[in-house]
Amino acid sequence: MSHDLESLKHQAALQAVALIQSGMHVGLGTGSTAKYAIDELGRKVAAGELTRITCVATSEVSHAQALALGLNVGPLTTQPFDIAIDGADEIDPQLDLIKGLGGALVREKLVEVQAKRLVIIADYSKQVSQLGEKAPLPVEVLRFGAHSTVKRLEDMGAKGQLRRSGDELYVTDNGNYIYDAHFAADLSSLERQLKGMLGVVETGLFLQMADIAFVAAPEGVRELHR
């Protein structure tokens, strides 16, 4: 990825953080683009440009980054978020998303379902005409009986594998595995079936959740609305 695109991803993050106002409760995303947003929020709070900001992070990594920047980070409660800012692995024309290649899909969804506004920041390579075009669909599965759960997924038409980290199976912040699935079917129609499957914790389908996307493209940052 070119240096120019990295600077545009940074610009997209700045535009998203510009929507945050003092006194807001903010959901902090996970991943390389969300990292820019957390950095900028930390800068604004340290400079006194924003005050009374409370945050909840969607991963251990983002939580540690926010704490190191002096942000007020707490646990997830029932309090709604004024705004949540996060990246995405795929964005379709309706702003439906695949997320979870970074492994934080369950916490991301738990936070972002409570957001009054979910703002997505990404580069143009994440735009697709249909979900599943480029990225696999991450499905978080319980470790106990994982191979049985995978067989159920494969019986449903999934092709994929349990995610690895080096020689070991990848383990999420929640102590689970991730199965990266490819389906021939329309993914949005599978969400309910997948969620109802024994052993499945959550999927990386984020449907009808995003409100705005700032997309970094070679010609600049585009603002998309659902």
Which tens digit of pLDDT belongs to each residue from 12-67?
999 999 999 999 999 999 999 999 999 999 999 999 999 999 999 999 999 999 99
Percent of the chain with pLDDT over 70: 99
pLDDT for the residue numbered 2? 58
pLDDT (average), residues 70-99 = 97
Nearest alpha carbon to residue 141 among 185, 192, 191, 194: 194
Please tell me which residue in 108, 112, 140, 202 is annotated as part of the active site.
108
Question: What is the band of 5 on the pLDDT scale with cuts at 50, 70, 90?
Answer: confident
Domains of the chain: 3-128+207-225 (3.40.50.1360), 137-203 (3.30.70.260)
Average pLDDT over all residues of the chain: 96
Contact of 218 with 12, CB cutoff 8 Å: no
Residue 211 has which token pair? 């409100």
HSE, side-chain direction, 13 A CA sphere, residue 183: 22
pLDDT for the residue numbered 61? 97
Residue 34 has which token pair? 């969300």
Distance of CA 101 to the CA centre of its chain: 8
Question: What is the band of 4 on the pLDDT scale with cuts at 50, 70, 90?
Answer: confident
pLDDT for the residue numbered 39? 98
Question: What is the band of 106 on the pLDDT scale with cuts at 50, 70, 90?
Answer: very high
pLDDT for the residue numbered 188? 85
pLDDT for the residue numbered 3? 65
Catalytic, 108? Answer yes
pLDDT for the residue numbered 86? 98
- pTM for the complete prediction? 0.95
Element (H, E) at 118: strand 118-123
Q: What are 116-172's pLDDT values in tens digits?
A: 999 999 999 999 999 999 999 999 999 999 999 999 999 999 999 999 999 999 999
